[in-house]
Chain A
Amino acid sequence: MMRYLLLFLLLLTGCPANEPLTGLEPPADKEPAFGDTFLQGSIGDASTLLPILASDSSSSEINGLVYSGLVRYDGELKVVGELAESWEISADNLSITFHLRRGVKWHDGAPFTSADVLFTYQLYIDPDTPTAYAESYLQVENAEAPDAYTFRVSYAEPYAPALMSWGFSVLPKHLLDGKKITESELARHPVGTGPYRFVEWQGGEKIVLEANRDYFDGSPFIRRFVFRIIPDTSTQFLELQTGGLDFMSLSPLQYDRQTDTLAFKRLFNKYRYLAFGYTYLGYNLNRPMFQDRRVRQALTYAIDKQEIIDGVLLGYGQAATGPYKPDAWVYNPAVPDYAYNPQKARELLAEAGWADSDGDGILDKQGADFSFTIVTNQGNDLRSKAGEIIQRRFREIGIDVQLRIIEWATFLKEFINPGNFDATILGWTGGPEPDQFEIWHSSKTGPRQLNFIGYKNPEVDMLLEKGRRIFDQQERKKIYDRFQQILAEDQPYTFLFVGEALPAVASRFHGIEPTAAGIRYNFNEWYVPAGQQKFSR
């Protein structure tokens, strides 16, 4: 028995499963050519390929390739037309008229018209549709399709995020009309107008897309797109090295320490750019100890942001001073940055009445120690590590901090929703749109709303209301500059850091041009020169 088993194992191990990588590059061969396969690794499977219902990043990634919107962001984060050839915004900023491209076809061959756009809009605002994205479309006063290639929307008040909200994925009316959206088969077999058409989805394993040769903006060069689900990043990294993946997001550790070999550099290109999103330490402003602005400023002075970036991100990030990333147009570089200054922190705390009167090394006021708990969610190493560093820095200025790490659903239910926390380390992921109404407006402090720290500032309320009504970028920036200034003074959060995205892409892919938008915005223009193509089908 043993002998057969061994023989069996030997037989199995004897067969090579992966073709060895050649990596040899004929020099003159750089012309764009159609073909090859792009293998992308993802830690999570998609949940549904109906963009109206999906709210996870894996689903959005696939949906972004299969569907198109009326408009999209280009590499400079400017709004450009996609299904819309052009558009006009009325002089009073109350209505937008889109002129749609003619001759666009759905992946099943049916023609695309303004009826599809109108239908998608109606689906979003239908009370029976459990979508997370209804908010922007509820602002619309009237939507109409005067002819097959014109779509017009009007608003009761000017709404600046309006234009980009029409970057939503347009859904095919002829396949969805009259059916319950939650029971549609399109959730597993999407039909869109985008550069890639759906081929197959093997649950938990992979999703395969194929280039749409009839794409209205010209066929993409890469023939196949394979989305491989590999939940563990160490495994992804091993797969990357064996050629089982062409693209993955590296961790700072992998980027910094494990990809420095000659072999890796020959086979892969690494990129780095600031990600949209930041990590913060938010203070529950309903707690008396955090109600004094000087205390919050002191806490920010006591934190060495660069130390956190170096320790947690190995330097791949930048200190955050507000809710926008430093390379965004709306970013205000003039706000106070609260450079690490424990002396200043102690002074501010003393001013606010905190002193160590009983000599136990912990500050106190009216007999109560300055002691609180930072909560954060389990499964995010960056946050728990940042918490540990902050804990030590706070201890140095005489503040006693506990750190609690709690599973996500429990964390929301028991701590954040009932407002039952002192301070929390969390992050926000944003986008190019600067509107921050949901997070900072005083009307959003109710249960389960996003201003859960209870921040209320009348001027901020006014600025947020005004900011979303102004279309002109220069005018808008003035509003948001002031908004960032007030946030910096108030320090309702200590804005900690903006992390970097650190993707690695197989070097046979050409045409990648990193910008503020990242690298994926021009995926359709990526190509592999004919001589370097690895997969023939």
Chain B
Amino acid sequence: MYRYLLRRLLMMIPLLIGITLISFTVIHLAPGEPTDMQTQMNPQASSDLQAKLHKQYGLDKPLHEQYLLWLGRLVRLDFGESFAQDNRPVLGKITERLPVTILLNVLSLVVIMAVALPLGVISAVRRNSFFDRASTVLVFVGFAMPSFWLALLMMDWLGVRLGVLPVSGLKSLGYEYMDLSGQLLDRAAHLVLPVFIAAIGGLAGFSRYMRSNMLDVIRQDYIMTARAKGLSERVVIYKHALRNALLPVITILGLSVPGLIGGSVIFETIFAIPGMGKLFYDGVMMRDYPLIMGVLVIGAVLTLVGNLLADVSYALADPRIRNSE
């Protein structure tokens, strides 16, 4: 087991370098330059500003040299400084936005799991019942609905007309003057709509997935055995069937790990949430290479780690895999 782990970890290094090399090349292939935003279409910009900025950012060096320099700094965990006008360290910009993004994603994942798993199980157990059909229609409506539209409607209804929830942002204005419980409630109130909107589109996938897993398992011989030896239906479903049906879900959860740091631009824009999606989008639009690379590297690392975690936890959960080394 440990040797397996070590081998997997070592394998990640060349993979990561390959990923960064490809990403680096691809973003430099995109037309446009980081300096365009400041120097172009600006009547006051003098002509040598472009050259000054090029030198400041090291863009005057050949591409392979830029890559090696960047890689050299990365090894020391230095993501460099953003090319945006603020010139802040990329790591600082990312860590500033990471907590809220992760919080939102984790919360919505929890909501999705909490709703979708029971929904899937019940749909499978009562296959083709009214509940099954109705929930199928509902989750697909949720899936198909444009989230920005739903978000605006909910904001208008709950925020403006009823006035029960804040419209946007993460905190109220007087946040600093509230006591601790007030602050917690304020935070929570601001999270309700974003989490709800983020979760609603994800219900369909998970609940359908759970349903089909469950159906597969119910047809298995061991379930028939369990029923044959006279176990109650409750024990058959929730003890024997559910556990086995949950196994593949673990894999999916592992694969969702990189998704936890990704945000949606549209969603963050609508709710005025300073998250990763907007940061990355703005970075791409102004060709902020260090920032783009920073986000991509963190995403790549998390994807690789997520895969590893999925495999390991799969092994832990399933004795057949654990013992078949």
A→B interface (CB under 8 Å): 1-2, 5, 9, 12-18, 20, 37, 39, 45, 47-48, 53-56, 59, 127-136, 138, 182-183, 187-188, 202-205, 226, 228-232, 234-235, 238-239, 241-242, 244, 407-410, 412-414, 416-417, 426, 428, 430, 438-439, 446, 448-450, 535, 537
Instruction: Tell whether, in the assembled complex, residue B115 and residue A5 are in contact, meaning their CB atoms are under 8 Å apart.
Output: yes
Q: A2-B115, A5-B114 given. 6 additional CB < 8 A pairs?
A: A12-B185, A45-B274, A59-B85, A130-B38, A202-B274, A205-B272
Residue of B31, B41, B46, B160 touching A413 (CB-CB under 8 A): B31
Q: Are B173 and A226 in contact (CB under 8 A)?
A: yes
B172 contacts chain A at the CB level, 8 A cutoff: yes
A446–B46 CA distance with the chains assembled, in angstroms? 13
Residues of B contacting A129 in the complex (Cβ-Cβ under 8 angstroms): 52
* Partner of B43 from A16, A234, A426, A450 at Cβ < 8 Å: A450
Instruction: Known A20-B163, A135-B46, A410-B32; judge A205-B270 contact (CB<8 A).
Output: no
| B33 at the binding interface (Cβ < 8 Å) | yes
Residue from the list A127, A202, A234, A449 in contact with B52, Cβ < 8 A: A127
Chain A residues near B135 (CB-CB < 8 A):
none
Asked if B189 is an interface residue, CB under 8 A from chain A, the answer is yes
CB distance from A249 to the nearest CB of B (A): 16
Q: B169-182 vs A: 1/0 string, CB under 8 Å?
A: 11111100100000
Give complex CA distance A5, B115 in Å.
Answer: 9
Shortest Cβ gap from A12 to chain B (Å)? 5
Query: How distant is the Cα of A75 from the Cα of B73 in the complex, in angstroms?
Result: 52
The answer, yes or no, to whether B44 is at the interface (CB within 8 Å) is yes
A53: chain B residues at CB < 8 Å are 85
**Interchain CA distance A37-B172 in the complex, whole Å:** 14
18 contacts between A and B (CB under 8 A): A12-B192, A15-B164, A15-B185, A54-B85, A55-B37, A132-B44, A187-B87, A203-B93, A203-B96, A228-B169, A228-B272, A229-B272, A230-B169, A231-B268, A235-B152, A238-B168, A413-B36, A537-B177
Interchain CA distance A133-B192 in the complex, whole Å: 45
Interface flag for B286 (CB, 8 Å): yes
Interfacial chain B residues near A18, Cβ < 8 Å: 159, 163, 166, 172
Q: Say yes or no: A47-B114 contact (C-beta < 8 A), given A230-B168, A230-B272.
A: no
The answer for the CA separation of A427 and B273 in the assembled complex, in Å, is: 30
Q: Is the CB of A235 within 8 A of B270?
A: yes
From B37, B155, B158, A235 is in contact (CB under 8 Å) with B155
Q: Are A239 and B168 in contact (CB under 8 A)?
A: yes
| Inter-subunit contact A13/B269 (CB<8 Å) | no
- Per-residue CB contact flags for chain B residues 67-89 toward chain A (1 = under 8 Å, else 0) read 00000000000000000111110
Q: A2-B118, A187-B86, A244-B167 are in contact. Are A412 and B156 (CB under 8 A)?
A: no
Report the Cα distance A244→B170, complex, angstroms: 13
Residue B97 lies at the interface, judged by CB distance under 8 Å to chain A:
yes
A413 to B40, CA, bound (A): 10
Inter-chain contact B36/A412, CB cutoff 8 Å: yes
Cβ of B132 under 8 Å from chain A: no
- Chain B residues near A449: list those with CB within 8 A: 47
